[in-house]
Amino acid sequence: MKVLVIGSGPIVIGQSAEFDYSGTQACKALREEGISVVLVNSNPATIQTDKEIADIVYIEPLTRETLEKIIEKEKPEGLIATMGGQTGLNLAMELKKSGILDKYNVKFLGTDAESIDLAESREHFNNLMRKIGVPILPGHVVSDFPEAKKFADKTGYPIIIRPSFTLGGTGGGTAYDEGELKKILGLALRLSATGEALVEKSALGWGEFEYEVIRDQFGNASIICNMENIDPMGVHTGESIVAAPSQTLSDRDHQKLRNATLKIVHAIGIKGGCNVQFSMNQETGEFVVIEVNPRLSRSSALASKATGYPIARVATKIALGHPLPEIRNAITETSAAFEPALDYCVVKIPRWPFDKFPMTSRVIGTQMKSTGEVMAIGRTFPEALNKAIRSLEIKIPKMKPEEHLYPPTDLRLFAILESFRQGKTTDELHRITKINKWFLNRFREITDLEKKISKGLSMEMLLEAKKAGFPDMKIAALTGKTEAEIRRMRKSGGIIPTYKIVDSCAGEFQAVTPYYYSVYEDENEAKPMPGRKVVVVGSGPIRIGQGIEFDYCCSHAAIALTEMGYRSIMINNNPETVSTDFDTSDRLYFEPLTFEDIMNVIENENPEGVIVQLGGQTSINVAQKLSEAGVKILGTDIDGIDIAEDRERFRHLCEKIGIAQPENATALGEAEALTIAARIGYPVVVRPSYVIAGRAMEIVYNESDLRRYMAEAVDVSENKPVLIDKYLDNAIECEVDAISDGSKVFIGGIMEHIEPAGVHSGDANIVLPSIRLTGKDRKTITEYTEKLAKSLGIIGFVNIQYVVRDGIVYILEANPRASRTVPFVSKAIDIPLAKYAIHCMLGRKLPKLECKMNHFAVKSIVFPFLKLLGTDIKLGPEMRSTGETMGLGKSFEMAYYKALLAAGVRIEDENRAAFISVKDEDKKEVPKLSKALKELGFTIYGTLGTVGSVEHAITIPKIGHGHPDAVELIESGHISFVINTPTKGGRANTDGYRMRRASIQKGIPCITNIATAYELLKALKKLEKIEVRPFDKYAS
Amino acid sequence: MRAVLVLEDGKVFHGSGFGAKATKIGELVFNTSMTGYQEALTDPSCAGQILLMTYPLIGNYGINAIDYESNRIHSSGFVVRQMSPDHEHRNSEKSLDLFLKDHGIPGIYGLDTRSIVRNIRDHGVMPAAISTGDADPKDLLRKIHEFDYSGQDYVKAVTTVKPQKFGKGKKIALIDYGAKMGIVRDLVAHGCEVHFIPATTAAKEIKALEPDGIVLSNGPGNPAVPEYAYDTIREISGYRPIFGICLGHQLLAHVHGGTTKKLKFGHRGGNHAVMDLIKNKIAITTQNHSYVVDNVPKGFEVTHIHVNDKTIEGMRNDNLQIFSVQYHPEASPGSHDSKYLFDEFMKMIK
């Protein structure tokens, strides 16, 4: 039997690593029954697209056309639609509705199309709820404003607007008056797949609860987990701080919601996993069902990790027709038909990207803005909460708490704590935030304890603080001591953590799966494992600049370690990932990734060494301290890491070994910075040292901009210097992922950026192999890479970025760790780099490896601009993308087109029209660009300043100077794509900004870079019919 | 207030005390339900037991007027990881702490409850002492050794003294071996007039009531102990449809020639899957029992089994119009999946 599994594509806000996790579990569950799995996903940075996970892997755009080709070729008997998030579900529904599945006789396995439709279509769902007597909020499906207004006038504001079939609440919102209703509804209708949206009475301020349920076709069902959103209604569940299980429901309340959940899944006919969201007025006990997700979801990933119950695995078995009672619970070896009992408390906190998008409003609401999340486990609520807070790896800014309490921002939790410190009461904060007083009282417990500790620390109080989840660092700050002093005091008093098992049954049965969390109690259940063992430090929450790629590498480490006869110990705190799945490593410690927490695990296990190269900057950042504590860092040693990370030392090394760098220097203050910039000449690239993903990196063109930057940048990393580099314009940027065993260096590939240098490498479109570099350039890059890897003493991964101009190769930086392009390169050359890197770290020599590429691979990216209003979409040295896609083809053009297609760029064949508006520097390109566009049948629109001299071009008045203006034209839907290059330093509310924003909201590709535009046109021009192949068959 | 928990095997756990200042001996059992502590504490089946909740955060939603399973706490003591110092719920009337105080029951919190659960899991349930005073663990251990849970007649201690009547409709005799009010509530909701009668009621008194059906309730302790109930049950078998729940189920087995045995650490929690062999479908059930029927009497067929350990969870005898289950269809606390059994009972008596 052959089964098709559809992945979820690139990481976007609202759809993250959780679908790699569910898809991977599904593939394993299918294959253990001898079923051949065909997997399709456009995201190369996923474990599910590894050949070890699925039998036949297609890395192709997730569109109906490509899927039809794959189905035609592979002829699968079945399809599982519920593992790839909303993307996979919508695509499967499209395949069903367009008759493709029936044409090729592909059956829906698990929850079928009719059931999905019942759950997803607002109208059908509401009718069904009325029929089975489950209460819903009064609401109305509308397709235009007058209808919505009529409803709102009758019901009263606020009104919730939800578009049908969208992800993460995109385009939804809460309208407090008619003006807002008009605005939000307009966007919602544009984004809705059906042109409809639901307007609903708001349950603002009510409690929000979620139930994760599993049901088989025979009607057996069990509730895996219930969860309580600490943020009441009005905040999307993905944006809420969540506790599991519920904390404030009595059994009577809980059974009421449980019964409703079962009624709903039976009526819909779920065959697999399902998520049901409720809202309850906790003053009256009245409740309503808010929505149902008939698929695996972010919440189901959280529920899986919170309970230890493998929902995706069991859902897959159900899809194959197995009755629930006959499926085994792999953790306890008992039946999967039970409801997990927790003997701990779980807290999830979202991770938001506002540090990257200072212009975006921090207010959180019904639309998701967070990119990832952390989870923590404790035996008390404050313990779990404190562990979750430090797992976020954020610096809590100074703030005025009252500005964050209501409407809530990402900082509300910290604002509440600060308010308690300032003497506010639970009642006052409840009035403002509507958060249940039980939770507020737990927050207050934390600040009360802080107060107590700051008055003097006894051993007894230290134990109390540790039991409440306080890190040593915080206790140190409260008592004026150092972290090391607290650690010593703790150990002298015998206060060390013990580890408990997450066993899904509260200790009732013997658990065989080693999944641990720390507490300060009596019994330690994690007796050190026998044998040779290695700790892998994970990468924490998904954030911009540190995405799923690192989890991919960590998961690979676990697999490689096992193959080499080691036992793998994973430490991570991200519930969405494969690395935190119960069978990825030999032992999983679900813990924060601070020095203290990692060190505690190391002291408990006493491993041979620790791998820090794979968890992005998170794990590299703890390397120094671990090494100082006597822990063996496997692979590149700490001095090598330091040389690469310390710009001054790095510069000296490059000088010594004769590798050119763009002229650069380090400045400690404004005066020094200005002197240096004047010396090396503007434009310059400035950034703080020890950066992650170009944080606060900027290209500065003049002195006044540099002054402004210095004033703002100091906050980013105190007492660390600012780096100033000469900016090389009109140069080719490229980068290398290489591995070394200490003597031999293997270069996975020399990747070339399609955009000119200056666009952050994480945001650039990248092609492999390079297309513009000369043979000589490549040779120099290879030589430099080998030389540098040896000089740094690289053992394992290194990623090096270069710029090439006028035949001279300059080095930009070297990262002594796995980069985000590792999975991309591995898939392009079909060699698992991570595996060999780990072999090197453990002392093996590299075998003879050969890159055979007979094809092209292009990496493209997706941005969160649609979700983050107020953000401009221009690109620069600061990374802003959330995810990536891969396009493969025999020609560069095909690969590039596919990568863009996968990233959501669609240009239809008919009625092609382009809108051009470029900055002055780019105007000289307009005639050439226009010619190329016309050849492809585009009608050209533009402002007088840009296209005035272009023949047959249609000129459009400036915004607000006539009708239709540029924004109106874009909104009208006449334009197939926009080319708009932003002026430097451009701020919000410029015309260019408004055009880019309008195109994003309309879903029209907007190219902000001339080079990208040319390449896209080249691709369109040469485009043949799309061909699909398994990714490892392109080379042949 | 300091407190101590001493186990029969000599293990001593220190924690903080709450509730009443008292010392109590009982059989230490653990319950895995994550909600429903008020129902569990007031369940007469808990007589003679010190109750440990595996879920660590207890008392969050306080104590209310509607979730009493009887009018008092029947557990001898209460063991939790964390007792909520405040309580928040629209129905809450008092804190867990005050509730225990009012009923003279000691509680202990702040100890490694999971390690105690694992101890019980590995070594079986055992007598224990809980003391919120400054008792000497050695004295407590001596008292523990004098304690005999299995020999005690807890039914007599908890059954109603006088008959009571609830609701209107079909007349049901509910023999109270320690019945939860949940059973009464469900019968009333099904349109029954419930005659709630003492465990010692003779068969002829029951027949004098002319009931439409009879329910044998749950209750505490060893089913081999309340032998006074056997004759009554024998005489009413076949007279009217009978529905046995938990202890009622075990008593039916004894009376008709089956046997029971004590489980290592019992089933206590709200997450147990039971397979209905007739419907071929599972229900998630509430369970609270140490003893289990290991041989059903002649003439009875097994109707339900536990999905995991395959123990007998239900039986029936169509000739005698008897059916019974080991678990709690009345829930409170726990899943409502098995409420259908009340419907089936109602069908039998129509």
Rounded Cα gap, residues A959 and A894, in angstroms: 36
What would the pLDDT profile of A206-232 be if each residue is shown by its tens digit? 999 999 999 999 999 999 999 999 999
Asked if residue A977 lies in contact with residue A1006, where contact means CB atoms within 8 angstroms, the answer is yes
What would the pLDDT profile of B224-281 be if each residue is shown by its tens digit? 999 999 999 999 999 999 999 999 999 999 999 999 999 999 999 999 999 999 999 9
Query: Tokens 């493998």 — which residue?
Result: A310
Alpha helices in A61-168 (DSSP H): 64-74, 85-97, 100-103, 113-120, 122-132, 145-155
Rounded Cα gap, residues A534 and A606, in angstroms: 9
Token pair for A828 = 């392009």
Tell me the pLDDT band of A455, cut-offs 50, 70 and 90: very high
Q: Do both B320 and B181 map to the same domain? A: yes
Within 13 Å of residue A516, how many CA atoms lie on the same side as its CB?
27
Q: Is the pLDDT of residue B117 over 90?
A: yes
- Residue-wise burial string across A921-945, b where 16 or more C-beta atoms lie within 10 A, e elsewhere: ebeebbeebbebbbeeebbbbbbee
Is B190 known to be catalytic? no
Which residue, B96, B124, B146, sits at the end of a domain? B146
Q: Is the pLDDT of residue A330 over 90?
A: no
Of A245, A249, A251, the CB nearest to B39: A251
First to last CA, chain B: 56
Could you tell me how far CA A974 lies from the centroid of its own chain? 33
Between CA A682 and CA A687, with CA A684 as vertex, the angle to 5 degrees is 155
Q: Is the pLDDT of residue A871 over 70?
A: no
Backbone torsions φ then ψ of A805, nearest 5 degrees? -140, 130
- Residue-wise burial string across A404-419, b where 16 or more C-beta atoms lie within 10 A, e elsewhere: bbbebbbbbbbbbbbb
Instruction: Compute the mean pLDDT over every residue in chain B, rounded to the nearest whole number.
Output: 97
Higher-pLDDT residue of A172 and B3 is: B3
Backbone torsions φ then ψ of A514, nearest 5 degrees? -85, 90
Q: Do both B88 and B218 map to the same domain? A: no
Q: Do both B183 and B308 map to the same domain? A: yes
State the nearest Cα–Cα gap between A125 and chain B, in angstroms: 24
Asked if residue B79 lies in contact with residue B116, where contact means CB atoms within 8 angstroms, the answer is yes
Fill in the amino acid letter for A445.
Answer: E
Tell me the pLDDT band of A716, cut-offs 50, 70 and 90: very low
pLDDT at position A1017 is: 84
Which residue in B8, B69, B313, B330 is the catalytic one?
A: B330
Whether a cis peptide bond, with omega within 30° of 0, leads into A163 is no
Residues 6+ apart with CB under 8 A from A835: A556, A559, A560, A563
Rounded Cα gap, residues B226 and B214, in angstroms: 18
What would the pLDDT profile of B157-194 be if each residue is shown by its tens digit? 999 999 999 999 999 999 999 999 999 999 999 999 99
Q: Is the pLDDT of residue B118 over 60?
A: yes
What average pLDDT does this structure show over A850-879? 79
Of B55, B282, B333, the CB nearest to A324: B282
Q: Do both B202 and B333 map to the same domain? A: yes
Residue B195 β-bridge partners: B165, B173
Rounded Cα gap, residues B5 and A348, in angstroms: 34
Sign of CA dihedral B131, B137, B142, B145: positive
What average pLDDT does this structure show over A167-190? 82
Q: Is the pLDDT of residue A204 over 60?
A: yes
Chain A contact for B280, CB < 8 A? Answer: yes
- All residues of chain A having their beta carbon less than 8 Å from the beta carbon of residue B41 are none
What would the pLDDT profile of B321-348 be if each residue is shown by its tens digit? 999 999 999 999 999 999 999 999 999 9
Q: Is the pLDDT of residue A43 over 90?
A: yes
Q: Do both B141 and B283 map to the same domain? A: no
Backbone torsions φ then ψ of B51, nearest 5 degrees? -100, 130
Q: Do both B139 and B265 map to the same domain? A: no
Task: Say what the ipTM of the complex is.
Answer: 0.97
- Compute how many other C-beta atoms are within 10 angstroms of the C-beta atom of residue B14: 12
Asked whether the beta carbons of residue B271 and residue A247 sit closer than 8 angstroms, the reply is: no
What average pLDDT does this structure show over A613-630? 95
Instruction: Compute the mean pLDDT over every residue in chain A, rounded to the nearest whole number.
Output: 91
Q: Is the pLDDT of residue A168 over 80?
A: no
What average pLDDT does this structure show over A432-460? 97
Helix (H) / strand (E) containing A405: helix A402-405
Which of A26-40, A317-331, A381-395, A705-719 has the weakest average pLDDT?
A705-719
Asked if residue A686 lies in contact with residue A652, where contact means CB atoms within 8 angstroms, the answer is no
Fill in the amino acid letter for A705.
Answer: D
Asked if residue A468 lies in contact with residue A496, where contact means CB atoms within 8 angstroms, the answer is no
Which of A180-189, A399-408, A623-632 has the weakest average pLDDT?
A180-189
Cα–Cα separations (whole angstroms), residue A431 to A148, A241, A479, A990, B164: 30, 19, 33, 40, 46
Cβ contacts from A onto B, under 8 A: 154
Nearest CA in chain A to B87: A438
CATH of the domain at B199: 3.40.50.880
Chain A contact for B335, CB < 8 A? Answer: yes
Tell me the pLDDT band of A419, cut-offs 50, 70 and 90: very high
Rounded Cα gap, residues B222 and B247, in angstroms: 8
pLDDT at position A400 is: 96
Asked if residue A878 lies in contact with residue A356, where contact means CB atoms within 8 angstroms, the answer is yes
Residue B345 per-residue DSSP state: H
Chain A contact for B36, CB < 8 A? Answer: yes
What would the pLDDT profile of A721-742 be if each residue is shown by its tens digit? 788 889 987 789 999 999 999 9
Q: Is the pLDDT of residue A170 over 90?
A: no
Asked if residue A801 lies in contact with residue A662, where contact means CB atoms within 8 angstroms, the answer is no
3-state secondary structure A451-518: HHHHCCCCHHHHHHHHHCCCCHHHHHHHHCCCHHHHHHHHHHCCCCCEEEECCCECCCCCCCCCEEEE
Q: Do both B297 and B321 map to the same domain? A: yes
Q: Do both B78 and B171 map to the same domain? A: no
Chain A contact for B16, CB < 8 A? Answer: no
pLDDT at position A945 is: 82
pLDDT at position A920 is: 84
pLDDT at position A987 is: 47
Token pair for A538 = 């994970």
Q: Do both B116 and B205 map to the same domain? A: no
pLDDT at position B40 is: 98
DSSP A302-371: HHHHHH---HHHHHHHHHTT--GGGSB-TTTSSBS-S--B-SSEEEEEEE--TTT-TTS--B--SS----
Tell me the pLDDT band of A696, cut-offs 50, 70 and 90: low
Q: Is the pLDDT of residue A196 over 80?
A: yes
Rounded Cα gap, residues A173 and B168, in angstroms: 51
Which residue in B27, B46, B192, B246 is the catalytic one?
A: B246
Tell me the pLDDT band of A692, cut-offs 50, 70 and 90: very low
- Compute how many other C-beta atoms are within 10 angstroms of the C-beta atom of residue B228: 13
Is B328 known to be catalytic? yes
Rounded Cα gap, residues A242 and A385, in angstroms: 10
Q: Which domain holds residue B83?
A: 2-146
Burial class of residue B250 in the structure, from the number of CB atoms within 10 Å of its CB (0-12 exposed, 13-18 middle, 19+ buried): buried
Q: Do both B137 and B159 map to the same domain? A: no
What would the pLDDT profile of A792-831 be if each residue is shown by its tens digit? 999 999 999 999 999 999 999 999 999 999 999 999 999 9
For chain A, how many residues are written? 1036
Q: Do both B182 and B305 map to the same domain? A: yes
Token pair for A596 = 């203290």
The pTM assigned to this predicted structure is 0.94
Interface test with B, best of A209, A211, A251 (most B CBs within 10 A): A251
For chain B, how many residues are written? 350
- All residues of chain A having their beta carbon less than 8 Å from the beta carbon of residue B64 are 250
Q: Is the pLDDT of residue A986 over 70?
A: no
Asked whether the beta carbons of residue B281 and residue A219 sit closer than 8 angstroms, the reply is: yes
Cα–Cα separations (whole angstroms), residue A362 to A163, A369, A371, A412, A569: 22, 9, 14, 10, 37
Asked if residue A803 lies in contact with residue A810, where contact means CB atoms within 8 angstroms, the answer is yes
Is B254 known to be catalytic? no
Tell me the pLDDT band of A870, cut-offs 50, 70 and 90: low
Tell me the pLDDT band of A444, cut-offs 50, 70 and 90: very high
CATH of the domain at B125: 3.50.30.20
Token pair for A686 = 């400035």
Closest CA to A375 of A209, A542, A153, A154: A542
Token pair for A210 = 């979620």
Q: For residue A701, give the 3-state DSSP assignment.
A: coil
Tell me the pLDDT band of A1024, cut-offs 50, 70 and 90: low
Rounded Cα gap, residues B173 and B211, in angstroms: 6
Share of residues in chain A with pLDDT > 90 (%): 68
What would the pLDDT profile of B81-110 be if each residue is shown by its tens digit? 999 999 999 999 999 999 999 999 999 999
Rounded Cα gap, residues A648 and A653, in angstroms: 9
Tell me the pLDDT band of A615, cut-offs 50, 70 and 90: very high
Tell me the pLDDT band of A176, cut-offs 50, 70 and 90: confident
Query: Tokens 């004759």 — which residue?
Result: B231
What average pLDDT does this structure show over A42-61? 96
Which residue, B146, B179, B195, sits at the end of a domain? B146
Which residue, B90, B123, B146, sits at the end of a domain? B146
Q: Is the pLDDT of residue A714 over 60?
A: no
What average pLDDT does this structure show over A657-677? 90
pLDDT at position A912 is: 86
Q: Do both B31 and B79 map to the same domain? A: yes
What average pLDDT does this structure show over A165-177? 74
Domains identified in chain A and CATH numbers = 2-109 (3.40.50.20), 151-202 (3.30.1490.20), 516-636 (3.40.50.20), 643-688+699-860 (3.30.470.20), 906-1021 (3.40.50.1380)
DSSP A16-29: -THHHHHHHHHHHH
When divided into structural domains, chain B yields a total of 2
